[in-house]
């Protein structure tokens, strides 16, 4: 069975206007999947859609949505009700760097909604459809931060634990229904993430190899960690106490937070 036969004919990608999400859209369209691209910035989605439709001869549908809002789902369903979504990429997310108590509560709740609530809702909705068809795939873009309690990025790291554990747990539950799960756990990546979060990037990878690995590992493993240095970090964490991880993560992040 080909990738399109297993996960097509349509893929839904959140946070598709830039970075890892846009790269997922590019690579999946090159494989022949039609796309539903979701993000807040419509102009960027329109430019992406025109480019992919022209180059790869696929269909691209656009949904302008803010996943931090409580009522985002009906807008997505209005575009997807007439099509078969076989692959969901829960990519949308953002971080907040700095002292937790200095952040506005509204921003912290927005992070929780985008990083945790939205993937839960979308996975429940489209996972049910996939389970009924006995085929499909769902990718959660988590992070190596999901392995490390991280001072000065506390809620972001906690949200990535949620996505990592949700993906691993559902992989066990839904395997019998033919639905593959993958937690993609990149480290620092060349995206807008650090600029928005208010931190500096260190040893950032390009988006292409990150997405390459996700597509390669979907259906084969429940977790994929791009970059040998990130895999080494996660491996070494097994041999040191959690309080040590937290201490050193706090020292590093304290120096990376931008004033």
Q: Which residues are catalytic?
A: 156, 160
Cβ 7 vs Cβ 136: under 8 Å: yes
3-state secondary structure of 13: strand
Tokens of 38: 């979701």
Residue pointed to by tokens 């066990």: 172
Q: What is the b/e burial string over 141-160, where b = at least 16 CB atoms within 10 angstroms of the residue's CB?
A: bbbbbbbbbbbbbbbbbbbb
In whole angstroms, what is the distance from residue 219 CA to residue 91 CA?
A: 18
Cα distances (Å, whole numbers) of residue 90 to 121, 188, 256? 10, 18, 27
In whole angstroms, what is the distance from residue 195 CA to residue 200 CA?
A: 7
In whole angstroms, what is the distance from residue 18 CA to residue 15 CA?
A: 7
Closest to 161 (Cα-Cα) out of 223, 243, 216, 240: 223
Cβ 211 vs Cβ 24: under 8 Å: yes
Q: What is the b/e burial string over 27-60, where b = at least 16 CB atoms within 10 angstroms of the residue's CB?
A: bbbeeebbbbbbbeeeebbeebbeebeeebebeb
Please state the separation of Cα 178 from the chain's center in Å. 21
């Amino acid at each position: 069975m080909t990738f399109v036969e297993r996960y097509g004919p349509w893929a839904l990608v959140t946070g598709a206007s830039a970075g890892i999400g846009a790269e997922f859209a590019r690579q999946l369209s090159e494989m022949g999947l039609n796309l539903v691209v979701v993000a807040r910035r419509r102009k960027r989605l329109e430019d992406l859609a025109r480019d992919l439709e022209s180059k790869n001869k696929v269909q691209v549908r656009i949904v302008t949505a803010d996943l931090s809002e409580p009522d985002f789902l009906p807008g997505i369903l209005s575009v997807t009700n007439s099509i078969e979504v076989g692959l969901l990429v829960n990519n949308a997310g953002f971080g907040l760097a700095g002292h937790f108590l200095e952040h506005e509560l509204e921003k912290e709740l927005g992070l929780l909604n985008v990083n945790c609530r939205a993937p839960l809702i979308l996975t429940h909705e489209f996972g049910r459809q996939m389970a009924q068809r006995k085929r499909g795939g769902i990718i959660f873009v988590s992070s190596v931060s999901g392995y490390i309690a991280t001072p000065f990025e506390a809620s972001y790291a906690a949200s990535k634990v949620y996505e990592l554990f949700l993906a691993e747990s559902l992989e066990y539950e839904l395997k019998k229904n033919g639905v593959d799960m993958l937690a993609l756990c990149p480290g620092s990546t060349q995206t807008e993430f650090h600029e928005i979060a208010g931190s500096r990037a260190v040893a950032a990878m390009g988006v292409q190899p990150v997405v390459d690995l996700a597509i390669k590992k979907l259906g084969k493993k429940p977790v994929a960690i791009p970059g040998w240095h990130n895999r080494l970090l996660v491996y070494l964490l097994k041999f040191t106490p959690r309080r040590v991880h937290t201490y050193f993560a706090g020292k590093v992040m304290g120096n990376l937070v931008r004033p």
